[in-house]
C-alpha cells in the first residue's frame, strides 16, 4: 500500500501559549483536566477548574502524567514478533506493513472461523462505541471489557435487581447520613471527585461503616470498621436483612409500591439471624442489632455501596445484590442523600450523541461466552473474558482465531497468566494496542503504539448521570514517537479489510461533528471547557413516575433473569473452611499511587509508591517463625514462588494475607518495574476458569497460598 499519513488536530504545535481542556488517561477514571501548552510543549497539567466537583485537583497518578509523556520506555513504533511468543524477539516496522500483516491474518481467521472468530477486549468505560463498532463491522459479537477481573459481579447484580448497571447508579454524598462500604477503598482506589465528596461528607458528620478483612486507609477514616472473615460478607448481609425485617426498619410504603418478591425475601432470611452469622463473619450478634438501629435512625439517607469488585469470590454477586436489596429496603432511590439514577439527554429534552455502531449491522451470531443467551444472567455488553480464553483453547462453542487487546492487559489483570498463555498460543493473531509495554503486549504478534492521552484525541463520550454530560479528550501536543490514535488505527484496519464506510472520517473533527449532529452542541462549544452539561441542575424522577427496566418494572428481589438462568436469587450462604498452618486466603489491593499494573514503570510513581510487603497477622506469623520485616516465600499451588518482606500486623484478618497488586512485571524494556516484587495473578494458579456462576467474575479471593520464612544464610530460619 501507499505510505499513510499520521492524523493531526488543528492547532497542535502552534506557537504561543494556550490551554487545552481534555481528559486524564493515567487510570480508567478519566478525570477532566486542563493542559497548558507553550510553543507545542506541555508545561502544566491540573484538574479542569470548570468542573466544580474536581477543581484543580489531580491524584498522584494524574500528576505523574508528564513524567509518562517524557518517558522513552514505551513502544515507539509498530513491532512485529520474529521469535516464539513471549521471547521478546521483535523487529521495527512501518504502519503500512503492520496493518497489512494484521489484515492478512484477519482474512485467514474469517476464512476459518467466520467473523465471529475475532475477539477484542478493552478497559470499558467511555469510548467503547469505537471498539464495538470495529468488531461489528468485522461481523463479530465478541467484545469484552475487563470486568471479569473487576466489576462484573457488581454490574450483573445491579441489572438483575434494578435493570440498571452500576454506571446508572449515583451516590448523593452531599446529603447522605450513613455510607456502608464493602471493601470499596474510596481513599486509595480512588476517583478524585468521589474521594473529595466522601471526605467532605465525613467532615460534615456522615457516618461510615467499612467492611473488610484488612484495615485500608478508608477503614481508618470510617466511624465503624468490621474486620470480617475473608469471603464472608454475603452471610453478613443476609443477617442484616433478617434484622432489618425483624425490627421493621425499612420503608414499607416504598417497598409495597416498587419492590417485588418480599415474601421470597422473608423466607430466604428467616434463619439468618445475627447469632447465625457470628461463626461465619466473626462479628458479635449484638453489633448487628445496634447497626440496624443506627441505620433505621438515619434512613432513608443510608447508602449500601455495592462495590467495585467486592471480594470476587463465588458468591460475591450476591454480596452486591443483597447490598442493593438493602438500598431498596431503605427506600433511598431518587431522594436527596440516596441513590440518584442516571438520566439520558432525552430525559432533559436533549438528544444523545449519535452512535458509530449505528453505521454497521449488529452481528447475528451468538456470543462465544453465551452472555445474554445460554447465560442470560451475564450482560453481553461487558461479556466474561475467561470464557473467551476457554473458547480459544477448546474451540467450543466455536473457535477464536484473532484477539485484539486494546489498552487492556489480561495477563496482569486476570488469574493464572500461564493458563491464559496456553489459550492465547492457539491464536492465529494476537494484537496489543497500547501506550506501554504490557505483559500481554510482550506475548503478542504485533504491538501497535497508541499515542498517549496528551498526544491524541478520542471519540466524544456521553456520561448519563444526575445531569447528562458530553465530554472530550482533545489532543494537546504532537506525538513524540511514531504512534497513532485508536480511531485512526481501527479505521485503517477496516479499510484494509475492504470496509470503508463505517469509520470513513479523515479527521477527528469530522468524526466529532457526526457524533454531535442534531444535539445542538458544536465542537467549538466542547472545546471551550472540555465538556458540555446538558442541564443547569439535576432533577429527581417523581415517585409516581418511577419505573425500573426489569421484566416486572419493579425492583426484583426474586429475579426473572436469574430464574431463566436456573439460578436462585438468594442462595444459601456457602461457608469456607478456615485455612490453617501455613495456608492463607490471599487478598490484593491498591494504593493511591498505583493503577493496577500500569503505574509502576512511571519514573515518579515508581519512586513514591510503597514497597510491596505481605500483611500477616501476629497470631499466625509467630507459629511460623515469622517476625516483622522478615523475608518470606509465598506459593500458590503452581510452580511460581515469590519473595517479599512480611509486615506483621493485627490489621489483617488471621485467615488472610494481603499484598499490593501490579508488581512482578517480566517485560525487560520496562526497566523500572521489571522483576520488582511478586505478581499476585501468578499465585492464582488454576483460577482462570473458576468464577461466580451468577455474576461471572473470577473467584480471585478464593486463592489459598502457602507462606514460609526464607532460610537465613546459615541455614537456620
Tens digits of per-residue pLDDT, 83-99? 999 999 999 999 999 99
pLDDT number for residue 679: 98
pLDDT score recorded for residue 466? 95
Q: How far apart are CA 83 and CA 479, in angstroms?
A: 29
Which has the closest alpha carbon to 242: 167, 312, 322? 322
pLDDT value of position 7: 65
Average per-residue pLDDT in the chain?
Answer: 96
Q: Average pLDDT, stretch 544-569? A: 95
Cα gap 525→354, rounded to integer Å = 17
Question: Is 13's pLDDT higher than 90?
Answer: no
Give pLDDT, residue 4: 59
Q: Is the pLDDT of residue 8 over 90?
A: no
Are 180 and 197 in contact by the 8 Å Cβ rule? The answer is no
Tell me the pLDDT tens digit for each residue of 617-652.
999 999 999 999 999 999 999 999 999 999 999 999
116: helix, strand or coil: helix
Which among 434, 443, 412 is positioned nearest to 661, based on CA atoms? 412
Task: Calculate mean pLDDT across residues 373-389.
Answer: 97
| Cβ-contact 109, 402 below 8 angstroms | yes
Task: Check residue 15 and give its pLDDT.
Answer: 83
How crowded is residue 711: how many other Cβ atoms within 10 Å of its Cβ?
A: 11
For residue 230, pLDDT beyond 50 = yes
Place of cell 494556550: 18
* 1, pLDDT greater than 60: no
Residue 713 is predicted with a pLDDT of 47
What proportion of the chain, given as a percentage, has pLDDT over 90? 95
Question: Is the pLDDT reported for residue 703 higher than 70?
Answer: yes
Give the chain's count of helices (H) and strands (E).
24, 27
pLDDT at 557: 98
Q: Taking residues 291-315, what's their average pLDDT?
A: 94
Distance of alpha carbon 676 from alpha carbon 410, whole angstroms? 19
Mean pLDDT across the stretch 315-336? 97
Checking if the pLDDT of 167 tops 50, the result is yes
Give the SS3 label for residue 594: coil
The number of angstroms, rounded, from the C-alpha of 49 to the middle of its chain's C-alpha atoms is 26
Q: What is the pLDDT of residue 57?
A: 95
DSSP 15-60: SSEEEEEEE--SSSS--EEEEEEETTEEEEEEE-TTSTTTTT---H
293-318: average pLDDT: 94
Phi, psi for residue 183 in degrees, rounded to 5? 65, 5
Q: What are the tens digits of pLDDT across the range 329-368?
A: 999 999 999 999 999 999 999 999 999 999 999 999 999 9
Amino acid at each position: 500500500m501507499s505510505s499513510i499519513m499520521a492524523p493531526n488536530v488543528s492547532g497542535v504545535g502552534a506557537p504561543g501559549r494556550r490551554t487545552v481542556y481534555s481528559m486524564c488517561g493515567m487510570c480508567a477514571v478519566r478525570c477532566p483536566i486542563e493542559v497548558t501548552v507553550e510553543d507545542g510543549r506541555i508545561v502544566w497539567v491540573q484538574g479542569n477548574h470548570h468542573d466544580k466537583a474536581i477543581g484543580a485537583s489531580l491524584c498522584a497518578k494524574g500528576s505523574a502524567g508528564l513524567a509518562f509523556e517524557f518517558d522513552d520506555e514505551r513502544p515507539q513504533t509498530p513491532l512485529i514478533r520474529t521469535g516464539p511468543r513471549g521471547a521478546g524477539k521483535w523487529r521495527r516496522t512501518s504502519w503500512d506493513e503492520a496493518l497489512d500483516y494484521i489484515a492478512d491474518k484477519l482474512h485467514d481467521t474469517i476464512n476459518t472461523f467466520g467473523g465471529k472468530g475475532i475477539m477484542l477486549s478493552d478497559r470499558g468505560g467511555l469510548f467503547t462505541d469505537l471498539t464495538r463498532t470495529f468488531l461489528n463491522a468485522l461481523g463479530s459479537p465478541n467484545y469484552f471489557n475487563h470486568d471479569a477481573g473487576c466489576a462484573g459481579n457488581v454490574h450483573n447484580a445491579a441489572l438483575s435487581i434494578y435493570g440498571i448497571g452500576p454506571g446508572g447508579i449515583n451516590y448523593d454524598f452531599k446529603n447522605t447520613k450513613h455510607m456502608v462500604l464493602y471493601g470499596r477503598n474510596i481513599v486509595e482506589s480512588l476517583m478524585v471527585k468521589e474521594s473529595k465528596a466522601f471526605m467532605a461528607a465525613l467532615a460534615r458528620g456522615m457516618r461510615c461503616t467499612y467492611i473488610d478483612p484488612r484495615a485500608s486507609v478508608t477503614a481508618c477514616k470510617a466511624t465503624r470498621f468490621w474486620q470480617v472473615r475473608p469471603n464472608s460478607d454475603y452471610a453478613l448481609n443476609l443477617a442484616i436483612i433478617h434484622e432489618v425485617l425483624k425490627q421493621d426498619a425499612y420503608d414499607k410504603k416504598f417497598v409495597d409500591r416498587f419492590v417485588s418478591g418480599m415474601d421470597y425475601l422473608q423466607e430466604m432470611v428467616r434463619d439468618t439471624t445475627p447469632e447465625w452469622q457470628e461463626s461465619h463473619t466473626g462479628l458479635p450478634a449484638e453489633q448487628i442489632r445496634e447497626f440496624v438501629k443506627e441505620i433505621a435512625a438515619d434512613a432513608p439517607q443510608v447508602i449500601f455501596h455495592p462495590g467495585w469488585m467486592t471480594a470476587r469470590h463465588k458468591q460475591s454477586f450476591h454480596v452486591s445484590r443483597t447490598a442493593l436489596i438493602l438500598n431498596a429496603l431503605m427506600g433511598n432511590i431518587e431522594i436527596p442523600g440516596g441513590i440518584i439514577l442516571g438520566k439520558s439527554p432525552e430525559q432533559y429534552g436533549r438528544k444523545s450523541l449519535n452512535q458509530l455502531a449505528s453505521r454497521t449491522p449488529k452481528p447475528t451470531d451468538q456470543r462465544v461466552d453465551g452472555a445474554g443467551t445460554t447465560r442470560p444472567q451475564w450482560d453481553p455488553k461487558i461479556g466474561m473474558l475467561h470464557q473467551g480464553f476457554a473458547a480459544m483453547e477448546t474451540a467450543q462453542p466455536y473457535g477464536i482465531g484473532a484477539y485484539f487487546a486494546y489498552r487492556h492487559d489480561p495477563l496482569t489483570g486476570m488469574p493464572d497468566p500461564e493458563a491464559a498463555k496456553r489459550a492465547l498460543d492457539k491464536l492465529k493473531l494476537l494484537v496489543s494496542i497500547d501506550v506501554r509495554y504490557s505483559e500481554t503486549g510482550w506475548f503478542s504478534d504485533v504491538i501497535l503504539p497508541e499515542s498517549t492521552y496528551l498526544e491524541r484525541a478520542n471519540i466524544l463520550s456521553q456520561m448519563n448521570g444526575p445531569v447528562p454530560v458530553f465530554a472530550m479528550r482533545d489532543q494537546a501536543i504532537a506525538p513524540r514517537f511514531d504512534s497513532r490514535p485508536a480511531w485512526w488505527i481501527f479505521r485503517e484496519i477496516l479499510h484494509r479489510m475492504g470496509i470503508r464506510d463505517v469509520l470513513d472520517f479523515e479527521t477527528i473533527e469530522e468524526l466529532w461533528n457526526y457524533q454531535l449532529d442534531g444535539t445542538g452542541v458544536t465542537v467549538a462549544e466542547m472545546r471551550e471547557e472540555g465538556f458540555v452539561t446538558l442541564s443547569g441542575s439535576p432533577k429527581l424522577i417523581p415517585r409516581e413516575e418511577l419505573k425500573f427496566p426489569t421484566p416486572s418494572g419493579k425492583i426484583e428481589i426474586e429475579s426473572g433473569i436469574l430464574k431463566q438462568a436456573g439460578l436462585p436469587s438468594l442462595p444459601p450462604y456457602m461457608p469456607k473452611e478456615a485455612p490453617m498452618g501455613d495456608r492463607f486466603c490471599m487478598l490484593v489491593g491498591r494504593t493511591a499511587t498505583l493503577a493496577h499494573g500500569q503505574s509502576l514503570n512511571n519514573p515518579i510513581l515508581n519512586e513514591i509508591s510503597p514497597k510491596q510487603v505481605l500483611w500477616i497477622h501476629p497470631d499466625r506469623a509467630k507459629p511460623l517463625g515469622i517476625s516483622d520485616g522478615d523475608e518470606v516465600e509465598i506459593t500458590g499451588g503452581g510452580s511460581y514462588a515469590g519473595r517479599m518482606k512480611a509486615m506483621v500486623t493485627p490489621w489483617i484478618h488471621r485467615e488472610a494475607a494481603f499484598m499490593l497488586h501490579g508488581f512482578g512485571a517480566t517485560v525487560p524494556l520496562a526497566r523500572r518495574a521489571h522483576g520488582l516484587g511478586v505478581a499476585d495473578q501468578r499465585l492464582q494458579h488454576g483460577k482462570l476458569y473458576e468464577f461466580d456462576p451468577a455474576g461471572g467474575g473470577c473467584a480471585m479471593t478464593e486463592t489459598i497460598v502457602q507462606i514460609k520464612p526464607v532460610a537465613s544464610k546459615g541455614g537456620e530460619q
